[in-house]
Structure 1
Amino acid sequence: MLGLATFFSSILLGSMLFFASIVAPSIFKSLEDDEALKFTRYVFPKYYLWGIALSALATVLALAARSYTCILLSIIFLGFVYGRQILIPKMTSAKDQWLASDTAQDKSRYKSLHKRSVIINATQMALLLIIVVATQILHLHQP
């Protein structure tokens, strides 16, 4: 069970790295602002749903294996739920407000929410890396 939890954690980490390093930058380099905004509003909820599904599956498998990693995976899962259900709607609203008003205060609010999403995402990736590396090290040292 722990092997499967690690496998799904690895898939999630790879997905997140691909999205952060290839997909997101490509959106803003290849699309006009209006189209990039429309595309991100379409794809980000799906990205978070993918994270919810994989982290939930990995958490359940780690729990079944009675592994400490279920705690870290639960944190990762909650980060995706928070991101999709709370943070993305707040960011969407803040971005719309900023675009409508073009004030420094609205821009600052959006930037602050975006920074929070980046910090959560980076933390999730770091935790996944810890999980994958730690379980591999432990596996190598088992008789």
Structure 2
Amino acid sequence: MIEQISIYLIAMILGIMLFFSFVIAPVVFTTLDEDNARKFIRRIFPFYYNVNLTISFVILLIFLFLSKLGVDFYLILLITILFATSNYLLMPLINKYRDEKQDKKFKYSHFISVVINFVQMICLVFLLV
């Protein structure tokens, strides 16, 4: 039963990530002007990361409780660490570089965040199959 809950939570994270990447972000940038889009994204991304960080941490606890310490555990650990890194290290840098108009650093940092998201999604799919 509890193992099934972890599967649902993994699917939930993947669903949130896909919805955010392919619905929320494109709609925001095609609907709002640049200033309002920036404000909205800066407000919603911390929620996005923290919700996913919390869910992934719960999955880690479930895996620990079940003594499921194989590849799946280390994948969800990686996913959790990447959510924390993205929220608490990368996002502040991205915002700083954007504010300071350091375009090369902004583009590079943003690219890294996109790659991290993609890697996390691949790991989540792997956990579900």
Q: Distance in 2 between matches of 1:93 and 1:45?
A: 15
- Structure 1 residues 87-141: Cα deviation after superposition (integer angstroms, max 9, x where no partner): 000001000011xxxxxxx2110000000000000000100000011xxxxxxxx
Question: What residue ranges of structure 2 are gaps of 5+ in the alignment?
Answer: none
Q: Point out the structure with max Rg over C-alpha.
A: 1
Question: What residue ranges of structure 1 are gaps of 5+ in the alignment?
Answer: 99-105, 134-143
TM-score by length of 2: 0.95
The yes-or-no answer on 1:89 pairing with 2:96 is: no
The yes-or-no answer on 1:79 pairing with 2:75 is: no
Q: Distance in 2 between matches of 1:62 and 1:29?
A: 40
CA RMSD in angstroms, aligned pairs only = 0.8
Q: Distance in 2 between matches of 1:109 and 1:64?
A: 42
Identity score, percent: 29
2:15 match = 14
Q: Distance in 2 between matches of 1:64 and 1:55?
A: 14
- In the comparison of the two structures, how many residue pairs are matched? 126
1:124 match = 120
In structure 2, what residue type is equivalent to 1:110? Answer: F
2:111 match = 115
Which runs of structure 1 show a deviation greater than 2 angstroms over 4 or more consecutive aligned residues? none
